[in-house]
Amino acid sequence: MKFAIISDIHSNLEALEKVLDYCKTEKIDKFICVGDIVGYNADPSKCLEIVKSLDIKKIVRGNHDEYAGIESELAGFNPYAKDAILWTRKQLDSTQRDWLANNKLKEVDFKRNITVVHATLDSPSSWGYIFDNHHAIDNFSYQYTKLCFCGHSHVPVLFEKNHGKIENTVRVIPEWEEINNEASFEIKVDIDNTSRYLVNIGSIGQPRNGDPRASFVVLDDYKREIKRVTLRYDIEKAQEKIIKEGLPIFLAKRLANGF
């Protein structure tokens, strides 16, 4: 079965539609959503309804989903994110907001050997980040499946634990982070029977790794491989919508440079 793992869409309709067009040609069977459907960009309602219409295997709640879904103080949000969340709340009806707020923080599928979390496994409601080996080692202590998919940082990174049966080692697979100038790019990694993997898939709607293309992952559990895909989309159209809606212009500018 083929799964598309999508994360950090952040109301970016142009990027989401480009990804879903690819998924049609790739003949994806089901989707896994790692959270943050809304926030930052200008199409929260449309993106939410599209995600709800997909054949979803697992879905978890992101921090922007949570704060768009409930009326609460926006502690820890920078001014741009705060403005976008306050605006997003007004664009969603009560049913949409309840749906966002009621998705779980963590999902585990032992049959498929998959865990899904937006932030970290040790304390998913604290919205911590996984940036380096130190954070990854902590996360692996709570990971009881071969694969764990996370997002939140908007930076794609792939950690592999115990490759070659060497105890207590965690390494980064550098190819996963590659950036180039192509319209689309794919990097495939074979799943080793001796290893566990912690996979940050990057962001569809607001990448922050210096690559403005939409980033997501395809898992083929028949071929035993995971593949990160990056696609160019109509950034200018997404920017125009942000500006038209009166959202912070910084949110439009950052789409073009991927930071």
Residue boundaries of the structural domains of the chain: 2-257
Nearest to 41 by CA among 23, 64, 63: 64
Average pLDDT over residues 211-218: 97
pLDDT at 169: 79
**Going along 7-55, which residue ranges are E strands?**
30-33
pLDDT digit string (tens) for 117-175?
Answer: 999 999 999 999 999 888 899 999 999 999 999 999 999 999 999 865 555 678 899 88
93: CB partners within 8 A, 6+ apart: none
CA 99 vs CA 30, 32, 49, 61, 188: distances in Å: 20, 16, 11, 10, 34
Judged against a pLDDT cut of 90, whether residue 59 lies above it is answered with: yes
pLDDT at 179: 87
User: What does pTM read for this prediction?
Assistant: 0.95
pLDDT at 9: 98
Judged against a pLDDT cut of 80, whether residue 76 lies above it is answered with: no
The pLDDT confidence band at residue 251, using thresholds 50, 70 and 90, is very high
CATH number listed for the domain at residues 2-257: 3.60.21.10
**What letter represents residue 132's amino acid?**
D
